[in-house]
């Protein structure tokens, strides 16, 4: 039986893409993922994640990584048909349709697990049993493996942005002081900000009000 795990990295940052990854593996080979020590990517040091990234690709039957840009996220959240959970659902379905597993375990982003499950199923072109759970990356090695592929890819994309623009913006999360400072000073200079995020909107609106005040 072909088993799939799907997870994301970078759902919350105001900077950069969200990355979704899926792996598919024969059920009998899942023990090989356990043997290399896969776990939720957030519990692993960066150098360990990097090493496991290559090991996982060698162990699994196939994998799929989708990079969702800041622009794509903004377009989805300003549309009338998608929110962030639904964007994850559609992307999960794309991964499943390509990998064609018999069963897929998903780290569910929604509080309403049955509704999210049905939403994903509605986009499937391949008959797959869907098991969506909260914190699935802590429970299922295949989801842990997917989380590692997603996290390493996201980290690499962030480093690419920093090198490309010769900037340092920290982790990209709104709770990061380096990110907050960079956002305040550069909110309108780069295309990698998520302009649908409340943290970006607050800065932009504050700058706008300040600018209007200068003309009074």
CATH classification at residue 203:
1.10.10
Query: What would the mean pLDDT of 63-67 be, rounded to a whole number?
Result: 98
* Residue 18, in any domain of the structure: yes
Segments in the chain forming alpha helices (H): 30-35, 46-59, 70-77, 84-99, 113-121, 136-139, 141-165, 177-186, 198-213
130 membership: H or E segment, kind and range: strand 129-133
Q: State the Rg of the chain over Cα.
A: 19
Cα separation, 108 vs 94, whole angstroms: 16
* Residue 191, in any domain of the structure: yes
Would residue 29 be called left, alpha or beta, if left means φ above 0 and alpha means ψ between -120 and 50 degrees?
alpha
Both tokens of 153, joined, read 């890819």
Q: Which pLDDT tens digit goes with each residue over 158-167?
A: 999 999 999 9
Cα separation, 147 vs 109, whole angstroms: 13
Mean pLDDT of the chain: 94
Distances (CA, A) of 48 to 36, 43, 94: 10, 10, 28
Domain extent, residue 36, equals 2-163
Q: What per-residue confidence (pLDDT) applies to 113?
A: 97
Q: Is the pLDDT of residue 216 over 50?
A: no
Of 167, 2, 178, 23, the closest CA to residue 92 belongs to 23
Q: Is the pLDDT of residue 121 over 70?
A: yes
Q: Could you say which of 123, 144, 163 is where a domain stops?
A: 163
The β-bridge partners of 66 are 20
* Residue 216, in any domain of the structure: no
Same domain, 147 and 188: no
* Residue 121, in any domain of the structure: yes
Q: What per-residue confidence (pLDDT) applies to 78?
A: 87
Q: Which pLDDT tens digit goes with each residue over 76-116?
A: 988 888 899 999 999 999 999 999 999 999 999 999 999 99
Q: What per-residue confidence (pLDDT) applies to 212?
A: 46
Same domain, 156 and 173: no
- Number of domain units in the chain: 2
Please report, in angstroms and rounded to a whole number, the separation of the first and last CA atoms in the chain.
70
Question: Is the pTM higher than 0.85?
Answer: yes
Same domain, 55 and 123: yes
Cα separation, 134 vs 58, whole angstroms: 27
Segments in 60-83 forming alpha helices (H): 70-77
CATH number at residue 32: 3.30.420.10
Q: Could you say which of 123, 148, 163 is where a domain stops?
A: 163
Same domain, 184 and 95: no
Same domain, 142 and 123: yes
Same domain, 199 and 126: no
Both tokens of 27, joined, read 């059920």
């Amino acid at each position: 039986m072909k088993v799939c795990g799907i997870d994301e990295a970078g759902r919350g940052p105001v900077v950069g893409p969200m990355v979704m990854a899926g792996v598919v593996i024969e059920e009998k080979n899942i023990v090989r993922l356990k043997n290399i020590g896969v776990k939720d990517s957030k519990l692993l040091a960066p150098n360990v994640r990097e090493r496991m990234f290559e090991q996982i690709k060698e162990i699994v039957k196939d994998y799929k990584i989708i990079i969702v840009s800041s622009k794509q996220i903004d377009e989805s959240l300003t549309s009338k048909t998608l929110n962030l959970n639904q964007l994850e659902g559609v992307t999960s379905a794309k991964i499943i349709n390509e990998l064609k597993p018999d069963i897929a375990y998903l780290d569910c982003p929604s509080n309403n697990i049955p509704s999210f499950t049905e939403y994903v199923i509605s986009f499937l072109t391949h008959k797959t049993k869907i098991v969506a759970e909260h914190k699935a990356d802590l429970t299922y090695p295949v989801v842990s493996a997917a989380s590692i592929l997603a996290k390493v890819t996201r980290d690499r994309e962030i480093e690419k942005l920093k090198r490309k623009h010769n900037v340092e913006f920290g982790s990209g999360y709104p709770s990061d002081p380096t990110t907050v400072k960079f956002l305040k000073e550069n909110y309108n200079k780069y295309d990698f900000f998520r302009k649908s995020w409340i943290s970006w909107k607050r800065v932009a609106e504050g700058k706008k009000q300040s600018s209007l005040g200068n003309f009074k």
